[in-house]
Structure 1
Amino acid sequence: MPISAENSVPIIFVRDVNKTYAGGFQALKKINLEIKRGEIFALLGPNGAGKTTLISIICGIVKASSGTIIAGGHDIVRDYRAARASIGLVPQELYTDSFESVWATIKFSRGLFGKAPNATYLEKVLRDLSLWDKRDAKIMTLSGGMKRRVLIAKALAHEPTILFLDEPSAGVDVELRHDMWRMVRELREQGTTIILTTHYIEEAEDMADRIGVISQGELIVVEDKDVLMRKLGKKQLMLTLRQPMTSIPAELSVWPLALSDDGHTLVYSFDSQKEETGIAELLRTLGEHNIEFKDLRSSESSLEDIFVSLVHQPKEALE
């Protein structure tokens, strides 16, 4: 999503944030991050990388060991109430007051942040999440998927300008995932900034404007999704040969080629950002040496491929 000049000031500003727990475990190491107003930002990383810790610190649930965070124009330590009022959080855990009704829970959440009653808005939130028919039901009687919907409704009840979704798709059905992502797109169109963590990397690929990857407490890359996929993506051209090879001929050694175990497929790999004129040159060279193929197909890296390669690269390779 293009960010207009008037929205160029980051809505979240994280500078030199560290977190060390009792016992000496350093969960976050000098995190620096700016999140633009009105964007969808996906924070990716393996289990234990520090995603939830960072979100919890920005939301004021966990205290940073050092560093500065501004959310919605407010310092999260010096002006905690104003900063927290601008934030909605959908946590991983399914915790809420089991004995309350759905309606009472979201009404209370809105009042907790000092918002005036607005039954029309709360009704819209519940209808958007297919919860309106369950508004009088006790939360303890709901399924896990319905409880997840209630958590989303609670997070939206006070009309936050920043919404954190921490693994929102974990353990939910396909219908809820579709409802949730439709609502996320609508919220972004209305100017809400969305920060999500997810194990469903295809969701980040589909939804996000920018991607951040965190590994072992360090933010190793932050980049526009499309730029990241152009920079780090790989493309492959696979040629099915008419006659199998036992090895790649010497005359083709200048090309980054690999041969399948059965000798029937020749694979040419190249960077997405490089010009693809090399394909024409390769095919011409094959013809000159009477190497015939009967089929060809191409593929390119997904965001998941890029993510896996990033978290397994040594740090110095990323610098």
Structure 2
Amino acid sequence: MKKFLVFALIGIILTSCSKNDKIKSEAEDIPVSIEVDRYDKAFFETKPQDLNKLKSKYPFFFPPNVSDTAMVEKMTNPLWRELYKEVEKRYDNFDLEKEGIEDLFKYIKFYYPKTRTPKVVTLIHDMDPQYKAIYADSLVVISLEMYLGKNHKFYEYPEYVKKTFEPSQILPDIVQSFSYGKVKPPMERDFLSQLVYAGKQLYLKDILLPEYSDEDKICYTTDEIKWCEEHDVDVWRFFVEEKLLYSTDSKLIPKFIEPAPFSKFGLTNDNETPGRVGAWIGWQIVRAFMDNNDVPPQQMFLMDAKEIFQKSKYKPTK
């Protein structure tokens, strides 16, 4: 019996590897050429007297409620110019990032052939962690000042936020933004639906960024991944025994799914846990579903959370 199980497992692994190799080969054959427009350079290298020329070329960056005076102030302000200098140090040459974005869109076009090849626009915005990289059909906007590395002197944020400012997070952030148009938001308010929704978004990174580590997909350290792998049984037992799965308490989302310094079980050692353990559990549920069911990911992203959970057969064990 043990030999049979071993051979069956080997067969599953070989089949999975063969399928992944086929996907990789077909995706990489898809032609994608991305145009990058360095608006950050254009803005800070434009002289104030030439502002109107800049406005005519980039009208969408000049809303009516923002005065020319405010724009000139930003152009000439020493702090903004210092920030631009720091961005230039890191991203004067954007070729490597451009290549990564092109590879990403090859996979996007493999799974979603009708997707348009977007234009990429880089800028220096307002250092807002909520708007780091935005996908909008024909456009990808990247705020480069948010990807200077977590230890950069300009970042006065909590550690759990700063770790998302690594250059390696540009592609996962684009996928996260892309997911809002492909992963169906939950219609139900229960915690399980929120877990699975977060898990679907992370699974989209699995298929679109196959070379990325789990650490970079969820923005965890290696120790945080290890913690989740070693404590998944305990976390799952807590969710079940506390009857959280079908709870509609909205406070569970910031406790277990949204970015946070740690997850909030109400225990004395909470600060030893990674934030977002609920998202990680949801990810494992979705992965288990995909392993146990022959369903295209595009279809799974639209499915009901409870059906995914039931058919996933998810149950962590020591």
Output the TM-score relative to the length of structure 2: 0.26
| Structure of greater Rg | 1
| Between structures 1 and 2, the one with greater strand share | 1
| Between structures 1 and 2, the one with greater helix share | 2
Output the TM-score relative to the length of structure 1: 0.26
